[in-house]
Amino acid sequence: MVDANRFRPRLEERLAALTSKLTEIDEDLKEHGTEADFEERATEIAGDEVLEGLGIQGQKEIGQIKAALKRIDDGIFGICVQCGEDIPEKRLELLPQTPLCTACMSASG
């Protein structure tokens, strides 16, 4: 059994970072007039489609992180939601919000 609370600050930090990033993306999508600001970021971000993709990806990750925080509260963090086995701690270090163990993740693609 992993020490779930050890992962909580990391998850909360990531959640806060994603939330502010998504707010930023949202504003970028709304503001097409501010070319200068937009161009500054153009090397990283290639256009609205990419922005929207990031937004969708971010929303998905936010959902996973919130679910992971709930699992910490429920005392079931680090347990695979699919097969009920412990998720290896090494895997949680890499991806603390994951709900699946390595075997179930590869099984689900």
Residues that bind Zn ion (CB under 5 A): 80, 82-83, 101, 104
- Smallest distance, Å, CB 20 to Zn ion? 32
Region at 84 (left for phi over 0; alpha for psi -120 to 50; beta for the rest) = left
Least CB distance from residue 35 to Zn ion, whole Å?
Answer: 48
Within 8 A by CB and 6+ apart from 71, the residues are 4, 77, 78, 79, 81, 99
Q: Name the minimum Å distance from CB 16 to Zn ion.
A: 29
Backbone phi, then psi, for 81, in 5-degree steps? -70, -15
Question: In terms of CB distance, is 17 or 107 closer to Zn ion?
Answer: 107
Q: What is the largest CA-CA distance in the chain?
A: 52
CB 100 within 8 A of CB 87: yes
Of the pair 25, 71, the CB lying nearest Zn ion is at 71
In the complex with Zn ion, which residue's Cβ is closer, 45 or 104?
104
The residue among 62 and 81 lying less far from Zn ion, judged by its C-beta, is: 81
Q: Measured from the CB of residue 105, what is the shortest distance to Zn ion in angstroms?
A: 8
